[in-house]
């Protein structure tokens, strides 16, 4: 089927805008990631925050992934419901309600969580007591992102000891999310922490690194056991910008319609911040339009995408359907309840975004 | 119930983060908007893009609204399913799939749509033919926003004539979304268009203005018949910034938990771009924290809110629950499937965000 016919069929069947993934590219991206992890000698624990689909997670496991990563407990619950196991929840969990859910989930599947402070450890201990089995905990370590994570190896060792000393917790290792240029610092941090942990009679069974832009660094941390990559399953304009993916490896596109051309050098797409999101991803413009690469999506209303066509020789007509590679694919998937799927250039069905909106 | 106990109860019952609306404030905001429209002598057609809830739309109708506004056909379908009628879809609709849906919906309720170009009119005519009854159409006019809308009165008259000449369309009027400082220009545009429309033997039954920041201008357009305001039902930090609302009138808050304090001058909220969204709303920082007004939400990962506490004398502890007034409330509501509701400072239930994610 040619592109024009496919665009028309998607619009006729699902309306516009429509978020579409190419399963051939998805499978190639899954296989590529697995190959990168295999070549580096680390396990592959893909992050499902990007796709939020148990079906795609099962494809990742079938391709060789050892387990999965979730960012929220609610995502992990959906994944366990979908038959997934060996799940790292890479987030500080807190609160009575979450501890009850964590205790219940830990009895259904192999779950590990992270912590970067004693308050979280105290909460997790209560979950372990409720579950009647220890909660598996990794210490989250920060080596430059300034997000969550202890900033020194000494703090990591201190938390590891607290975990080791609790009958309701089980120390499993260390989690890193290094900056792309921060792997030497991460090595120093890890070496110091490893020594302190050994002195305490403990050992890090899991040493986890993360990030799709960090795939270029796989194998650079001596002692790493696994890597967490989310975005690589679909890729996006950010991944193109950092060199982690080519345009051809971008498996998700937003099919959108030009609904207005009220000025000669501008137009309106039927996709605004409630579809493409306001996440700039550090880039200029809010997406790459395959048919008009020199058109710039310069901003959004909620349902309007503002096209600046002044640098685009060819300009779209009203009614024309275009395909947009978003800046940040993970947040776009989270806007919709289903993804339309292609294979061999034809529509094959729909995939529910089962864990969409599980913010808690 | 005191605030600390309420926060704990919300966290225990619904987890964190949690999007909460105060129905007492919602009702006061609804009444205030109705009063503003009444005082200006224009009908009130609130925009449901903000709340996406038929239940809240019915409250607006009960308070005196003449009808509602939707931005997408999918929102209008949910509203008709929920018993609403007299709906303006303030958006250029295009595509065979949408025309079939519009034809079906037009037979179930009083629907009007807008158009700013002949391609849309042609599509709408096909919907009218399918429905066996004319589609009600307003011409969308741009007086400075540079979004959708014809830029000249001449074009508006030309489209009005095309509508008037089609047996499958019915000319209903003109829709404006004036810049706050663009009402004199809008008056000139309208006066010229009105004369041309009259010369063509037509008349604008509906002359619609829009925008919550424009409530200060109500009554300034001679000939206006109605106003569309969305955000005023909840309000947000943007509405505070432009003077359209006070903090006390902000009816929606995101209850969030501080999950990390890895550095002395920083912290992490469990709400990132997948809850509070990356929509800056033209403001510095991404939300107002009631408990720590000098703390700055300086950016997001998907599930992490980055707190800069350097200017905040008091600093939250890990585990502390805080309330955030978001920059732009409409996009936050669209991230969740339900809103938790308060009345008299107590939890009274949940409200589904029924039209969430209806991007098409």
**How many angstroms separate the Cα of A180 from the Cα of each of A38, B15, B83, B87, B91?**
20, 34, 54, 51, 43
The reply to whether A63 touches chain B by the CB within 8 Å rule is no
Q: What angle do CA B299, B330, B211 make, to 5 degrees?
A: 115
A212's CB contacts (< 8 A; 6+ apart) are A229, A230, A231, A232, A235, A239, A244, A245
Q: What is the mean pLDDT of chain A?
A: 98
C-beta neighbour count of B201 within 10 angstroms: 8
By the 10 Å C-beta count (0-12 exposed, 13-18 middle, 19+ buried), B252 is classed as buried
Tell if the CB–CB gap between A16 and B304 is shorter than 8 Å: no
The reply to whether A98 touches chain B by the CB within 8 Å rule is yes
Single out the residue of A17, A204, A96 nearest to residue B360, CA to CA. Answer: A17
Element (H, E) at B333: helix B329-333
Interfacial B residues in 312-331 facing A (CB < 8 Å): 317-319, 330-331
Identify the pLDDT of residue B69.
98
Find the CB nearest B279 among A97, A278, A335. Answer: A278
Closest approach of B354 to chain A, Cα-based (Å)? 13
Whether B279 and A278 have beta carbons less than 8 Å apart is answered as yes
For chain B, the distance separating the N- and C-terminal CA atoms, rounded to the nearest angstrom, is 42
Whole-angstrom Cα distance, residue A172 to residue A272? 43
B149 contacts in chain A (CB < 8 Å): 260, 262
Tell if the CB–CB gap between A97 and B270 is shorter than 8 Å: no
Q: How many CB pairs under 8 A join A and B?
A: 198
Tell if the CB–CB gap between A360 and B18 is shorter than 8 Å: yes
- Predicted confidence (pLDDT) per residue in A174-232, tens digit: 999 999 999 999 999 999 999 999 999 999 999 999 999 999 999 999 999 999 999 99
Whole-angstrom Cα distance, residue A360 to residue B17? 6
Chain B interface test: which of A260, A264, A300, A316 (most B C-beta within 10 Å): A260
Find the CB nearest B275 among A95, A263, A359. Answer: A359
- Predicted confidence (pLDDT) per residue in A301-327, tens digit: 999 999 999 999 999 999 999 999 999
Report the residue of chain A nearest B272, measured CA to CA.
A359
The reply to whether A45 touches chain B by the CB within 8 Å rule is no
The reply to whether A152 touches chain B by the CB within 8 Å rule is no
Q: Average pLDDT of each block of 10 consecutive residues along chain B (360 residues)?
A: 93 98 98 98 98 98 98 98 98 98 98 98 98 98 97 98 98 98 98 98 98 98 98 98 98 98 96 97 97 98 98 97 98 98 98 97
**How many angstroms separate the Cα of B241 from the Cα of each of B144, B323, B328?**
21, 18, 11
- Predicted confidence (pLDDT) per residue in A15-67, tens digit: 999 999 999 999 999 999 999 999 999 999 999 999 999 999 999 999 999 99
Tokens found for residue B231 = 């955000």
φ, ψ of residue B230 to 5 degrees: the values are -105, -60
- Predicted confidence (pLDDT) per residue in A56-71, tens digit: 999 999 999 999 999 9
- Domains of chain B, CATH where assigned: 3-21+237-352 (2.40.37.20), 41-233 (3.20.20.10)
Tell if the CB–CB gap between B271 and A94 is shorter than 8 Å: no
A120 contacts in chain B (CB < 8 Å): 259, 318
pTM of the model as a whole:
0.97
Count of alpha carbons within 13 angstroms of residue A224, beta-carbon side? 32
Tokens found for residue B148 = 């959708």
Whole-angstrom Cα distance, residue B136 to residue B182? 27
Identify the pLDDT of residue B73.
98
**How many angstroms separate the Cα of A318 from the Cα of each of A259, B48, B115, B165?**
5, 26, 12, 22
The reply to whether A274 touches chain B by the CB within 8 Å rule is yes
Q: What is the DSSP letter of B102?
A: H
Single out the residue of A206, A282, A202 nearest to residue A239, CA to CA. Answer: A282
Whole-angstrom Cα distance, residue A26 to residue B251? 42
Q: What is the DSSP letter of A213?
A: G
Find the CB nearest B301 among A14, A147, A259. Answer: A147
Interfacial A residues in 209-268 facing B (CB < 8 Å): 257, 259-263, 266, 268
Report the residue of chain A nearest B123, measured CA to CA.
A319
The reply to whether A123 touches chain B by the CB within 8 Å rule is yes
Tokens found for residue A296 = 């710039």
Q: Is the peptide bond before A17 cis (omega within 30 degrees of 0)?
A: yes
Whole-angstrom Cα distance, residue A39 to residue B243? 58
Tell if the CB–CB gap between B268 and A92 is shorter than 8 Å: yes
β-strands A43-44, A18-22 pairing: unpaired
Tell if the CB–CB gap between A98 and B360 is shorter than 8 Å: no
Q: What angle do CA B299, A54, A326 make, to 5 degrees?
A: 40
Span A243-263, average pLDDT = 97
Count of alpha carbons within 13 angstroms of residue A163, beta-carbon side? 33
Single out the residue of A356, A146, A328, A119 nearest to residue A239, CA to CA. Answer: A328
């Amino acid at each position: 089927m040619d592109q024009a016919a496919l665009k028309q069929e998607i619009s006729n069947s699902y309306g516009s805008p429509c978020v579409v993934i190419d399963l051939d590219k998805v499978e190639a991206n899954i296989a590529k990631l697995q190959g990168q992890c295999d070549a580096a000698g680390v396990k592959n624990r893909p992050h499902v925050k990007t796709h939020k689909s148990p079906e795609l997670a099962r494809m990742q496991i079938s391709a060789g992934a050892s387990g999965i990563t979730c960012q929220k407990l609610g995502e992990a619950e959906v994944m366990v419901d979908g038959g997934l196991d060996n799940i790292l929840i890479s987030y500080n969990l807190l609160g009575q309600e979450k501890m009850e859910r964590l205790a219940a989930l830990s009895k259904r599947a192999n779950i590990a969580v992270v912590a970067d402070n004693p308050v979280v450890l105290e909460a997790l201990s209560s979950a372990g007591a409720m579950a009647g089995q220890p909660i598996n905990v990794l210490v989250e370590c920060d080596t430059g992102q300034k997000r969550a994570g202890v900033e020194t190896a000494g703090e990591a060792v201190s938390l590891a000891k607290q975990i080791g000393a609790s009958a309701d917790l089980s120390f499993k290792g260390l989690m890193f999310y290094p900056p792309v240029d921060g792997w030497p610092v991460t090595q120093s941090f890890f070496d110091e922490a490893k020594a302190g942990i050994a002195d305490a009679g403990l050992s890090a069974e899991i040493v986890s690194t993360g990030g799709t832009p960090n795939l270029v660094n796989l194998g650079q941390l001596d002692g790493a056991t696994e890597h967490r990559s989310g975005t690589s399953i679909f890729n996006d304009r950010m991944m193109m910008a950092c060199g982690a993916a080519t345009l051809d490896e971008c498996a998700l596109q937003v099919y959108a319609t030009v609904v207005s051309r009220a000025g000669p050098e501008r137009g309106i797409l039927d996709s605004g911040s409630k579809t493409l999101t306001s996440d700039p991803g550090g880039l200029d413009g809010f997406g790459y339009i395959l048919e008009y690469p020199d058109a710039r999506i310069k901003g959004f209303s909620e349902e309007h995408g503002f096209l600046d066509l002044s640098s685009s020789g060819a300009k779209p007509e009203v009614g024309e359907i275009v395909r947009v590679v978003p800046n940040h694919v993970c947040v776009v998937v989270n806007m919709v309840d289903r993804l339309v799927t292609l294979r061999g250039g034809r529509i094959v069905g729909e995939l529910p975004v089962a864990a969409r909106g599980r913010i808690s």
